[in-house]
Amino acid sequence: MRLLVRHPSVILEKITSRSKAGSAVADLFPSLRGLVKLDFSEPAVDSYRDCDLVFFATPNTTAMEQAQSLLDAGIRVIDLAADFRIKHIPTWEQWYGTTHACPALVAEAVYGLPELNREKIRGARLVANPGCYPTSVILALLPLLANRLIDPRSIIADCKSGISGAGRKASIDTAFCEVTESVKAYAVQGHRHLPEIREVLQTLDADADLVFTPHLMPMIRGIHATVYADACTAADRVQSLFEDYYRDEPFVDVMPAGSHPETRSVRGANICRLAVHYLASANKYVVLSVEDNLVKGAAGQAIQNMNLMFGLDETAGLESPGMTP
């Protein structure tokens, strides 16, 4: 909503919530006082009739129950949850622990990473907005895989995320006194974003696989992915290969050689900022990739996808720089 209220071509028609129905959006989010006059309403497919697009910022398995009805009514859908991200249904069902409600739509859905699927997104009715970790990791690896610079089975993605990645909810696990002034890894044995990243990487190189270790950082926003891979060809051109690969991308920024991006440089902005290093002694690449998990890793990327789907300027509503400090 923070981004949509400033978008030149968007009218926010409805926002739904079962638990908050009837209360004013601005009462829950005082930062939107004067900017959003809506109340939360009960979700009801009928009521979206006047909408061109519905964003699902819902728990997993919600969108897959409602997407078909919306598409039938001519309404396009962007799902910010995971229902349409993984093409291989058994894999999805294993990691999400339930039967998928509409496998046919999974086949139709486009994985909404514009740097990979821009043209398909333009024509899509249904877009699966990528996960926050996958966005940061895949963007770090695209130039390496596309240029066959690495052993595709040697990838390690050591990722650090702010707490907002866990969503807004009452939970002891994300209570201030439990997570501030502390760092921990979690889900070392397997996180749901692992099969998502793997499947996307395998569209580039069928042998690709990775180790993925997420960590919780004591901050609100930001992901820092530190991605390691064994080099398999001479590395002297890696900096220019990265710069060339992303030259026309409005939302990927390749820093100068030797740089160390900070997550705060993208706070609130729809940017993934990269730096690529080659370690000669170990013959490895290390790519540092930062994004705001709530923007390029979620809502900002969803708006970028919307812009593409509706033929708008891809950067509309997304031009603000990161907020530093």
CA distances from 123 to 69, 307, 310, 312 (A): 19, 11, 9, 13
DSSP string, 82-111: STTT-S-HHHHHHHHTS--S-HHHHHH-EE
Q: How big is the chain by its Cα radius of gyration, in Å?
A: 20
Which residue is it, tokens 């997420």?
214
Q: Is the peptide bond before 195 cis (omega within 30 degrees of 0)?
A: no
Beta strands 252-254 and 272-279: pairing type?
parallel
Q: Which of 102, 132, 159, 272 is catalytic?
A: 132
Residue 118: which of 248, 205, 9, 225 has the closest Cα? 248
Q: Supply the minimum distance, in Å, between the C-beta of residue 125 and a copy of itself.
A: 30
Q: Which of 61, 174 has the CB closer to a copy of itself?
A: 174
Q: Which of 46, 189 has the CB closer to a copy of itself?
A: 189
CA distances from 38 to 9, 32, 77 (A): 18, 10, 21
Q: Are 74 and 174 contacting, i.e. CB atoms less than 8 angstroms apart?
A: no
Tell me whether residue 132 is one of the annotated catalytic residues.
Answer: yes
Q: Supply the minimum distance, in Å, between the C-beta of residue 72 and a copy of itself.
A: 35
d(CA 75, CA 312): 17
Q: Which of 72, 176 has the CB closer to a copy of itself?
A: 176
Q: Which of 73, 188 has the CB closer to a copy of itself?
A: 188
Q: Supply the minimum distance, in Å, between the C-beta of residue 103 and a copy of itself.
A: 25
Q: Which of 156, 232 has the CB closer to a copy of itself?
A: 156
Q: Supply the minimum distance, in Å, between the C-beta of residue 141 and a copy of itself.
A: 16
Q: Supply the minimum distance, in Å, between the C-beta of residue 115 and a copy of itself.
A: 16
Residue 233: which of 151, 155, 141 has the closest Cα? 151
Beta strands 76-79 and 155-161: pairing type?
unpaired
Active site residues: 132
